[in-house]
Each structure stands twice: as C-alpha cells, then as structure tokens.
Structure 1
Amino acid sequence: MDTTPAQAARQELTGFKGQLIGPDDSGYAEARTVYNAMIDRRPALVARCTGPEDVARVVGFARDHGLPLAVRGGGHHGAGLGTCDDGVVIDLSPLKDVEVDPEARTVRVGGGCLLGEVDRATHEHGMATPSGIISTTGVGGITLGGGIGHLTRKCGLTIDNLLEAELVLASGEKVRASADENADLHWAIRGGGGNFGVVTSFLFRLHEVSTVVAGPTFWPVELGAEVLSAYRDFLPKAPRELNGFFLFASVPPGPPFPEEIHLRKVCGVVWCRVGDDAEAAAAEMAPLLDALPAPLVHGPAPMPHPAIQSAFDGIYPPGDQWYWRADFVNEIPDGAVALHARFGAEMPTWKSTMHMYPIDCAVHDHAPGDTAWSYRDSRWASVFAGVDPDPANAEIIKRWSVDYSEALHPFSAGGAYVNMMMDEGQERVRASYRDNYARLARIKAAYDPGNLFRLNQNIEPATPALA
C-alpha cells in the first residue's frame, strides 16, 4: 500500500510539536474547513504548527515531496487560497501570542492571530493598529495584501504600520524583514501577499485609538444614486479623522435596528470617527446629511474601537457562501453612479453587499513605489460580494457579483485589492501591482525561485534574463 502524505509526514517530521491531520483522522472535516463555504477542498495533510521550527519542517516536507503548499491564517480568503486539494496546508492558528509594548507603542502578533484578538489586547492600553472590518479575519492574510478598514484615512493601511516580520522561506531558513534587515523582503511583503514565505510573527506600530464615534447611516435603496453622488463629493473633503465607507446592504433582522425596517434594502455609510467627541463627529458628518433627505437610521455613537471592529461578525459568521469581485476606483462619474444604483437595488440575498472603502489621506502620504501595494493614487477600493448561507443560491450570488463588477470595471483604475480578488488569472495580478510587479518578480526569484508559495495571487519569479 502506498504511503499517504499524512503517514509520511508522521514518519519524517521528527521533532514536530504541532498536530498533523490527514483525511482518515477524526478532526479532518473541521481542519479542512475555511470561512467561505463555497470552497470545498480536501488537502492531503493539514499541519497545525506551533512555531517557526514546525513551519520550517512542513515547508521542507512539501517542497521535497513536490506537494502543493497552502498557508492559512484566519482562512477568510474568498477564493480559498488558504487551502488546496491533495496538498499540504500550513495552519498557523496555534500561533496566538500578542505582546503589547505600551512605551514603544508596538504590538507583536503571532501569525495565527485574528483581528479581534489583537484589537482587544491593544485596546486595554488605549491603542490600536489599523486592520479590517470583521474581527474573525486573520491578521496574516489581511496584512500581507494591504489592510483596509475603519482607521485607513487616519492611520493608513495595515502595511503602513508593519515595522517588521519574521518569516520562514521556501528554503526553510528563518529570517527577519524590516527597514534595516532584508529591506527588499520588507518592501515586498507590504502588499505582495504570501508569495515570499510564511510569516510567523508581525510587529506593528500602534496609534492612540480607544473610543470612536461609529455606526451606520441608512437611506432607502431607491435613493442610491442621490446618496452615492453626495458621498463621492463629500468624503474626500472630510477630515482624515472621519472614515466612512459607502455600501449597499439590507438592514440586519435584529437589534439595534427597528423591526419595521428589518431586511429592507438600503444604501448608506458606515462611519468611524477617531476620538470620543460626538459633537465634532456630528459636525463633520453634517454636510452629507444636510445635502440628503432624512435617513431611515442614523446610528453613530461613541463606542470602544473593538465594538465597531466586530459589528459585522454576527452578520457574517463562518459557513456562508461567498463570491466577490473588486476594483480600485479613482473617480465615480455619473455613469458609474447610475450603474451602482441599479445593481444595488438588485441585491439577490439579504447578506449580499457592495462596499466602497476610502483609501485617501494617510494612504496618500506614501508614494506608489514605497511598498508593493501600488494603488496609492486611487481614491476608493470597491468590493462586490454576493453572500448567502444556502448553497442553492451560490450561482445567483456569483452571477450578481460578476455582472455588477464587469459593468463597473470600465470606470475602474484597472487593478484590484488582492485580498478581495478571486482566482482571476495572471493578467489580473499584474494589473493589480502595475509598475511594482517587475521588482516583486525579482524579489520572488531571490527568495522563492521555485515558486513554492504559489497558491495566492501569484507573483511569478523573474527569469534570469528578465532579472
């Protein structure tokens, strides 16, 4: 009988301290599951690693056996790039250490941490580092792709606050990447995704963020064009302390929303204003509200920063069907507004949504070549997400997302935020890195010449002739 990869791993990975799970093990069904239930892959081995030494052993095992290798932090990626069929999954979930240094204003985070775990630890010291908007998301994936969220306008992308990282390379070597050590690698991992190694630890800069004024303002979806037009003119002029992303959504069927508007389709803004000054926040939001009819709901209020960070968790638990597309946007002309209003009104399920995240202010403090994340000159990142718990609706939500994104793509900047892309091909990856792609390919050739880390938005190693 042929030896399975799981059996071979148990024989060969001497000194491995974590857990090796194969298809015949009782915990396999749970171990192979990722956030998006549309992804149903069956890896030959899931290796839950306890630290860099475990990771290095598994990297070497996959490399030496010629097996596909996926790396999973939180497992949220829409395309399921944290898992694979018939290969090896490095599961970083045991790497949960969070160490806050209040004096240095830094936090060191294990590669398996979730955003909420970091938010809670830093909040105890009245600080935060910018990240995403669903607290069950893995720190590793969102960071390596860029990191857009509620604090973007004030504090920048997550990668703008990444001071250093510890990685395991394709060779099994353990290295540190910072401005002073392996600076080329530090440049590449700030937006270049998981192409260059397995990050086992991150060191982030912290900002004084404790209480925020946050919450949604919703208008009827029929006002979509009017609200979006007003928003596109208002938001770029707002102070950088005020973040607000535009969305089409349906009102969640529960508190704090009035029962009479539960499941009603709406458009609106989800606000997050840094600081506890509700009067200042109201004054900053006023120009938008004054330009529009009275909203159905206007809910911004002072709250702890982790509260807004986790506000979407209950709406989007693991196990839903997801299909999303994305684009960067420089301008939102009237033609784009009309299309948004049309597709927003046609959301096929109550969990389906479109978000348009602002990426100006602090993001624009950096040049496109300062990090691998090249779209510093764009104004918004849009995502079109079809979501529903019922597998029977998978094709419906996919079709809406694809049709919506393809209709709006002619108005886009060309590329997309890699964390919100599906598996859309190499041309799309190149478009999303633009002029930075060639440099990324050279760095890839230096650190992963065999493209072991290819189950991602892949950057192919430069050939010698091109390097």
Structure 2
Amino acid sequence: MKEITMKNIRGKEIFLGEEPLQRFLAEVRGEVIFEHEDRYDDARRVWNGMIDKRPALIVRCAGPADVIASVNFAREHGLLFSVRGGGHNVAGNAVCDGGMVIDLSGMKSVHVDPDRRTVRAQAGATLADVDHETRPFGLAVPLGLVSATGISGLTLHGGMGWLLRKHGLTCDNLLSADIVTADGRLIKASNEEHRGLFWALRGGGGSFGAVVSLEYQAHPVGPEVWMAAPMYSMSKAESALRFFRGFMARAPEDLGALASLWSAPVEETIPESVRGAPVVVFLAVYSGPLEKGEEIIRPLREFDTPVVDLSGARRFVDVQKFLDADYPDGMYYYWKSLYLNDLDDETIKTLVAHATTRPSPLTSIDIWALGGFFSRVPADETPFARRNAPYMAAFESNWKNALESPVHVEWTRRVYKDMERFSRGSYLNFPGFGEEGEELLKGAYESNYERLKAVKAEYDPHNLFRGNLNIRPAG
C-alpha cells in the first residue's frame, strides 16, 4: 500500500503516503482493511441494509492500544472517522464515507463478578454476549430487546428494555467506562474520577471519545420470567390502547410492557389464517416472583379474544431473543420516535389511524410504557432529560426491497411530524438519520444540552469525534 485518498474532518480529500501508513500499520495488532480487498464489503456492512457507506480503511481493533493508535493517527492527519461497536445503530453512524472506521466489534469479552453483581464488558459486545455470561448467576443487566444490538451504542443514548420500569435505562446502571479521548489518553470515567465526563456518557452519546469497555450494575432476574404476547385484531386497536393505558397505570414496576400496532409475522408459531393480518400486540415481561407472573399478566391476555397468544413462562435469555427474527441483518430500517405527553383518546385515535396506512406489514408503531424507576431519576442526574414522559412512541419502518425506500422513509417522517403535536423530544437510539440536527439534540437533552457542550469542549475541543449525533463543543 503506497498511498490512499481519504477525507479529512472537513470532508475534503487528502492523500496519505506510504510512510505514515506503514508507521500506523506497525502500531496496530488488529486487521487493517483497505477498499481494494476482497473482505472489504463484508467489513463495511452493518445491520441496517439502508446504510451503504464506503470508508477508505477499516481498523479492526484487537484492544485498547489499537484504539489509541487509531485516534492518534486520525488526529495527527486530521482524518474523518467513525467508531463502530456492534454496528446495530439504525442511523448507520458506525461507518463513514471516505474516512476511517475504528471497529471495536471484535472486542467482545465479558466478565461477571457475581458477588458484587457487576459486569465488565468490552465495547464490541452484544446483548447476547452479556446475557450469556450473566445467566448462570441469575443476573441480568437492563439492556434492549434485540440480542444482536451492541451494548455501547445502546448505553450511550440511554437503553430501553424490559427492565426499564424496575431498574431504569441501561445508562442508569452504568458504573464506569474506559474511554480513549481525543488526545489519545485512556481514562476511566466514573462517579469517583472524571465525573463530568461520566455524567455525559450516561445518555449523551458518542461525541466524547471512543468507549472501549463499560462496567454495569447487574440485578437478580429469572432465570425464568413470565411473558405476555397476546395478539388481537386491529379492529380492536383503539379500545386495546385505552385498556393498556388503564392497566399500566396500576401495573407493578416488575412489569415492563409495550403495545404494538403491527401485522402478525409469517412464522410457524402463528396460525396460517392469522399470518400477515393487522394486529395489536401486548408485549410484557414480569420479572418479579415467577409464581405471581401468570396472574399479573392475565388481564393483558383476557382483554378480548386473542387471534393468537404466545404468552408463557420463558428463560429471560430467550425473552431477550424473542424479537430477533423480526429484525434480521441486512433488511432496510428507518426509525423515529417521540415521547408522548399522554396517551389520551385523541392520541390513541391518531396513532391507530396512522397504523392503518403502514406501507409494509413489517412496519410497526410501538407504544412503550415508561414510569417506575425510569421516572424517579432526576432530569439532571443524567443527560437523559425526558424522565416525566409517561409513554414513548416508536415509528419503526422495516422493509425488504431497496427500491421502496423513499415510500417508507416518507411515511415515517409524515407520521413523526403529525405526532409532534402530542409530544416533546425523541429517544436518540431511534433518530431516523438525525436530519433535524441540533434541534433533535436540544429536544432530547433539554436543559442538559449546554452542560453536554461544556463537557465536549473539555475533552474534545476540536470536535474530532463527530461521526455521530454530534454535540459540538461550547464556544
């Protein structure tokens, strides 16, 4: 490799000669992949098939030393770069066009301390990696709903899952993080050291450095839990959501739940007559005493006569994989979200009306019940400001044909725009492509936004880490 063309942080092309490239390659233990290589296309692909970016080189880091070398190389030459954890970010921020990808996906080790109930995981680990290691100890970290999701991106923008009402967001359970900063230092951020940075990492995103490992508080869960999964005809959707509203107002915090306006999947577990039919689904997980679970979830199963009911007691690790088949690698995804001010009758009627216009049976409108532990965390304790929201609506467009992408993106944006009158702020793990720029960030972080900019100015004053939902430094 004699020289390559790359983009700098201002988006302009520059040439890197053989000497600086060879010096960099000598400092890195992991693979470095260039555009002309056969393995390049596999290395640049991410979960969302919509993302088709072509970086100039990909550094598959073997450990923190490779991350430090990569950050130093980028800084010294003014290179555009992105940081990849699990590669599951719907906006595709794990990769960049013409720059360098600092790929942490091979850094997947997980260590559990069952006595302290803590988990230390490298940034490339997925939910499945963490769940696999915590299960033998009857422990779980509050994570997301799809097991292939990477833990680092999930954590840095919050992290919603079945344990949200009982134990909070993933970021609420973060104890410390090891992070490589823009000046090439590896530091630990926690409540004891670099406290401002630690505050920013608990929901503030990837603008502050390359997180290489995360330490979490784990909690006793399972090994079995009760899961509700009844499906009702879409003709019952409005009354079902009114029922869901009343039920969740009285539900114990051990119950995490959402209601989904969807179409029954075409799977063997679904009767042939129901497959593809528009439905409203109650998905709920009770993580309290197993003997109480069936009784707790019964009202969700008896709201009406379900067209199919997949409820039952399951291992928690299997619950974490329950939705995996619906979100395969390489399908096309475009998701946006809003925190609802209420789930009143007008909001319900509008959500159901939009659900009837979904351009794909794979697309859903999901209404997450919040509250519990999530809502008791003060709004300024983490950057995640919308703690008083009772519900979050996610507009998840999912489809298989690339030629149909404009239709699905337009539908999602239209629904999002219409639903803004019932809401305030977005969940930044479901941001579309972040098209709204700083307005999206201000809506999510509210009064915490200026503090995030100040932390950014302290740790990355030249905005080296910009391949993300970027928070620019103050001043």
TM-score bucket (shorter structure): over 0.9
Look up the equivalent residue of 2:234 and give its one-letter code: V
Superposition pairs for residues 3-14 of structure 1, below 5 Å?
Answer: 3-4=4-5, 8-14=20-26
The aligned counterpart of 1:310 is 321
The aligned counterpart of 1:65 is 77
Change (3 A) 1:164 1:124: same
Tell me, yes or no, if structure 1 residue 202 matches structure 2 residue 214. Answer: yes
TM-score (norm 2): 0.94
Tell me, yes or no, if structure 1 residue 178 matches structure 2 residue 178. Answer: no
Distance 1:322 1:310 in 2: 19
The aligned counterpart of 1:142 is 154
- SS of equivalent residue, structure 2 residue 143: coil
- SS of equivalent residue, structure 1 residue 14: helix
Superposition pairs for residues 420-431 of structure 1, below 5 Å?
Answer: 420-422=430-432, 423-424=434-435, 425-431=437-443
Instruction: Decide which of 283, 294, 298 is 2:295's aligned counterpart.
Output: 283
- SS of equivalent residue, structure 1 residue 259: coil
- SS of equivalent residue, structure 2 residue 161: coil
The aligned counterpart of 1:416 is 426
Tell me, yes or no, if structure 1 residue 231 matches structure 2 residue 272. Answer: no
- SS of equivalent residue, structure 1 residue 70: strand
Instruction: Decide which of 370, 377, 380 is 2:388's aligned counterpart.
Output: 377
User: Which blocks of at least 5 consecutive residues in structure 1 are unaligned?
Assistant: none
For the 8 Å contact 2:282–2:300, the answer to whether it is kept is no
Look up the equivalent residue of 1:62 and give its one-letter code: A
The aligned counterpart of 2:10 is none
Cα offset for 1:284? Answer: 2.3
Distance 2:39 2:271 in 1: 42
Tell me, yes or no, if structure 1 residue 249 matches structure 2 residue 262. Answer: yes
Look up the equivalent residue of 2:418 and give its one-letter code: A
Superposition pairs for residues 359-398 of structure 1, below 5 Å?
Answer: 359-398=370-409
Instruction: Decide which of 30, 41, 44 is 1:29's aligned counterpart.
Output: 41
Question: How far does the alpha carbon of each residue in 1:13-57 deviate from its partner, in whole angstroms, 9 at most, with x for none?
Answer: 422111111101111001111111111100111111111110011
Question: How far does the alpha carbon of each residue in 1:273-312 deviate from its partner, in whole angstroms, 9 at most, with x for none?
Answer: 104625x22332344555x322222322111111111111
Instruction: Decide which of 51, 54, 60 is 1:39's aligned counterpart.
Output: 51
Cα offset for 1:365? Answer: 2.3
Instruction: Decide which of 361, 369, 376 is 1:358's aligned counterpart.
Output: 369
Instruction: Decide which of 101, 118, 123 is 2:113's aligned counterpart.
Output: 101
Distance 1:3 1:132 in 2: 39
Distance 1:356 1:132 in 2: 15
- SS of equivalent residue, structure 2 residue 398: strand
- SS of equivalent residue, structure 2 residue 177: strand
Distance 1:276 1:428 in 2: 40
Distance 1:244 1:299 in 2: 15
Q: RMSD of aligned C-alpha atoms?
A: 1.5
Distance 1:356 1:40 in 2: 30
Deviates more, 1:145-154 or 1:220-229: 220-229
Deviates more, 1:12-21 or 1:428-437: 12-21
Change (3 A) 1:216 1:10: farther
Deviates more, 1:92-101 or 1:358-367: 358-367
For the 8 Å contact 2:152–2:211, the answer to whether it is kept is yes
Question: How far does the alpha carbon of each residue in 1:307-357 deviate from its partner, in whole angstroms, 9 at most, with x for none?
Answer: 111111112111011111111123122221111111112222121111122
- SS of equivalent residue, structure 2 residue 257: strand
For the 8 Å contact 1:71–1:198, the answer to whether it is kept is yes
